[in-house]
Amino acid sequence: MPEHEELIPAHGGYRGLKSFQVAQLVYDLTVRFCGLYVEKRSRTHDQMVQAARSGVQNIAEGSQASGTSKKMELKLTNVARASLEELRLDYEDFLRQRSFPLWPPDHPALMRFKARRCSTLDEVRSWVQQERKLQGPTPTATDKPKTDKIPLSPSVPSSVLVANAALSLLNVACRLLDKQLAAQAKSFETEGGFTERLYRVRSQNRRNNR
């Protein structure tokens, strides 16, 4: 135990969490995606936007709650993870139900997207525009193009680009949250929550006042 343990430790700081940053980009992208490609009056539209929002809000709320409740932090982080999993299924459904392709991680266009490390909606939009410019006839075997230069088929719509980009971001966010949950669970197991911390602080104060 540290020489002087604070009853309410440093908490919040969620804006610096990579999981929050990626989830926030997913939220912005989902609002844009649903506005363009999902019927606005449909239940799916509302569910996708709300699931994306829940991912962001619960990461933030869990981080803020950690000052007095590690248990609540763990619970809210898990809610965020579940919300993003729901959203991931919605994007997969969008592609599957329209017979659009779900790209593997090594798809050339997806590799180009990952290389950009987009952090804003404008950067994602710029990637989409660049991919549209690359669209053209599929290279033949004799062309032997470099992997990072392979263009898309001219028939690939923008919605496929955006949905697959969103899924790539969701994969990152979910992995980050899985690690976050594991770390929070370990901390809660070894250090306890507010009640245990209160006991330690009181005991420490009594020893210091003797």
| CATH number for the domain harbouring residue 56 | 1.20.1440.60
Please answer whether residues 70 and 188 qualify as being in contact, where contact means their C-beta atoms are separated by less than 8 angstroms. Answer: yes
**Can you give the pLDDT at residue 142?**
44
Q: Would the pLDDT of 148 be above 80?
A: no
Instruction: Report CA Rg, the chain.
Output: 22
- Res 117: pLDDT: 96
pLDDT, mean of residues 41-52: 96
Is the pLDDT assigned to residue 69 strictly greater than 90?
A: no
| 193 inside domain | yes
pLDDT in tens, 109-140: 999 999 999 999 999 999 999 998 887 544 44
Mean pLDDT over all residues of the chain?
83
In a domain, 181, yes or no: yes
Residue 7: its pLDDT value, please? 45
Largest separation between any pair of C-alpha atoms in the chain: 85
Give me the number of domains the chain comprises: 1
**Boundaries of domain holding 164:** 14-134+155-208
Cα distance between residue 77 and residue 188, in whole Å: 13
Output the CA angle 196-198-204, nearest 5 degrees.
Answer: 105
The verdict on residue 145 lying in a domain is no
H helices of the chain, where?
A: 18-37, 43-65, 70-97, 108-116, 121-134, 158-191, 194-208
CB atoms < 10 A from the CB of 66, how many?
Answer: 27
Does residue 109 form part of some domain?
yes
CA–CA separation, 89 vs 106, rounded Å? Answer: 20
